Amino acid sequence: MSAAAPDDLIYFTPDVTDAVTIKRVQEFQDQGCRLLVVGFRRERVNRGYEPAWRHLLLGHTRDGRYGQRLTALLRAVPALFARRRTLAGARVFYARNIDQLLLALLARLFVAGRPEIVYEVLDIPPILMGRGIASITLRWLERLCLKAVRLLVLSSPGFHKHYFLAVQRHRGPWFLLENKLPPSVNQTRPAAADSHAANRRRRLSGRWVVAYCGLIRGQATVDLIARLAERLGDRVTFRFHGVLTTVDETAFHETVARLPNVSYEGPYSAQTDLRRIYGDIDFAWALDLEHVDHNSRWLLPCRFYEAGFLGVPCLAVQGFEVGDMIERLDAGWTFGAPLEDNLVRFFERLTPAAYEDMRERLLALPSGRFVAGEDVAVLCERLGLGRGEDADAVRPILDRVRG
């Protein structure tokens, strides 16, 4: 595992196979960083995937199984101690989520030089928002760990405003790194006039296709889609693309079998399948109802960026972070309570002309709204990593680092 020169960055991840890990590793490598990925497998997505980059596998974990994850973390400590020479010399330990932050801080005790700690957060898990003793203890532990963090990296400003400032009282520097598509994505966007002939005929007949892509979570969301499918009939087809997470799988498959206008298309690859999926739908479902009091309200989901780049308007909830973004950009539709009735009225009244007007406005937005540009370059410059010669080019947008 040892390299000829020390790694610039050790990336601690909860899952070496998930799409964010794969994207983030590629982004750091594109900036010239030498890195080692340290983490676990969850066998949730990309089963059978074997990373081509250097990595140290510490075990297997499961979503939501906090006791099992704690055991896996404790078992990983001796493995990290045995590999302490491999970790030595890194400038940055980059940890994604609270589990990996704890592991990174423990690993730092084993190496000289005390690398800087960066903490990346893409979701606020429900255990951090609870009122029980486990939640209170974990928040206290995170608050303690934040004192050792040089930089907090967040995918949504809502996480900073509503959680790290309001709950954790953390006032350290933070950096906004949205869930944008990687720069390696084909930069050719569809034109406003582009549309499959079958799609155009279907829209003119008043029939629409809505897709929920990504991690399928929240029983309330699935139940709402089922009720809409029943009320709207053949006016709207609903498709699920992705991996089932926090839903009742038996009930989900029964719903799909029962409703002719609902289908489950299974998992997909974000690297190869996005154009095929989004090229055959009219709307991206971005109404996340799993944790409406916290995480769902604050996040900016990957599907917003995927759909926006490929010219598919999103449907979202008013007052949620993603809904506010969509309204600012005038790039989709948002809905207030009662959601079900308002969505039914929307589909009953929507005209093909109104849809095409919205799609044209969406495609007129710059691709940089949905595709990462210098974001990671700015982050690397902030941390003293990668191509130092690029620092002057990225310095004008260093205001993304918030103090």
pLDDT at 170: 97
Does the pLDDT at position 1 exceed 50? no
Within 10 angstroms of residue 42's Cβ, the number of other Cβ atoms is 19
Q: Is the dihedral of CA 144, 150, 153, 159 positive or negative?
A: positive
- Tell which residue, 146, 180, 191, has the closest CA to residue 164: 146
Cα pseudo-dihedral 74, 79, 84, 85, rounded to 10: -170
Identify the structural domains of the chain with CATH numbers, from first to last: 9-178+372-402 (3.40.50.2000), 197-369 (3.40.50.2000)
pLDDT, tens only, 18-30:
888 888 998 899 8
pLDDT digits 0-9 by tens, 197-253: 667 778 877 789 999 999 999 999 999 999 999 999 999 999 999 989 889 999 999
Mean pLDDT of the chain: 88
Mean pLDDT of 131-140: 95
pLDDT score of 42: 72
Is the pLDDT score of 161 beyond 90?
yes
Q: Where are the alpha helices (DSSP H) in 188-279?
A: 197-204, 219-232, 249-258, 274-278
Name 264's bridge partners.
240
Quote the tokens at residue 71.
């055991």
pLDDT above 90 covers a percentage of the chain that reads 65
pLDDT score recorded for residue 402: 58
Is the separation of the CB atoms in 99 and 73 below 8 Å? yes
Instruction: Let me know if 342 is exposed, middle or buried by CB neighbors in 10 A (0-12, 13-18, 19+).
Output: middle
pLDDT at residue 388, rounded to an integer = 45
| Distance, CA of 190 to CA of 335 (rounded, Å) | 27
Question: Of all helices (H) and strands (E), which one includes residue 58?
Answer: strand 55-60
Residue 43 in this model has a pLDDT that exceeds 70: no
Phi-psi category of 266—alpha, beta or left, where left has phi over 0 and alpha has psi -120 to 50? left
Q: Where are the beta strands (DSSP E) in 91-224?
A: 92-96, 116-121, 151-154, 174-176, 208-216
In this prediction, residue 89 carries a pLDDT of 86
Q: How far is CA 85 from CA 1, 7, 92, 114, 187, in A?
A: 10, 11, 15, 13, 41
Helices 321-329 and 302-309 cross at an angle (nearest 10°) of 20
Query: Cα 5 to the chain's mean position, in Å?
Result: 32
pLDDT in tens, 323-350: 999 999 999 999 999 999 999 999 999 9
At residue 208, the 3 state secondary structure works out as: strand
- Beta strand spans in 307-352 (E): 314-317, 332-335
pLDDT at 396 over 60: no
CA gyration radius, the chain = 22
Mean pLDDT along residues 81-85: 87
| Predicted local confidence at residue 114, as pLDDT | 87
Kindly tell me if the per-residue pLDDT of 394 is higher than 60.
no
Q: What are the pLDDT digits (tens) for 278-311? A: 999 999 999 999 999 999 999 999 999 999 999 9
Is there a contact between 158 and 297 (Cβ–Cβ < 8 Å)? yes
Q: In the structure, what pLDDT confidence band is assigned to residue 145 with cuts at 50, 70 and 90?
A: very high
pLDDT of residue 78: 85
- The mean per-residue pLDDT over the stretch 84-108 comes to 92
Are the beta carbons of 136 and 49 closer than 8 angstroms?
no
Q: How long is the chain?
A: 403
13-39 burial: b if 16+ Cβ within 10 Å, else e: bbbbbbbbbbbbbbbbebbebbbbbbb
Q: Measure the CA–CA gap between 24 and 292, rounded to whole angstroms.
A: 28
Written as one letter, the residue type at 151 is L
pLDDT for position 106: 93
| Prediction pTM value | 0.89
Q: How far apart are CA 43 and CA 88, in angstroms?
A: 29
Interatomic CA distance for residues 164 and 153, integer angstroms: 11
- Please list, in sequence order, all residues whose beta carbon lies within 8 angstroms of the beta carbon of residue 37, skipping any fewer than 6 positions away: 11, 13, 16, 21, 25, 51, 53, 54, 55, 56
Helix (H) or strand (E) holding 391: helix 391-394
Q: What is the pLDDT confidence band of residue 192, given thresholds at 50, 70 and 90?
A: low
SS3 201: helix
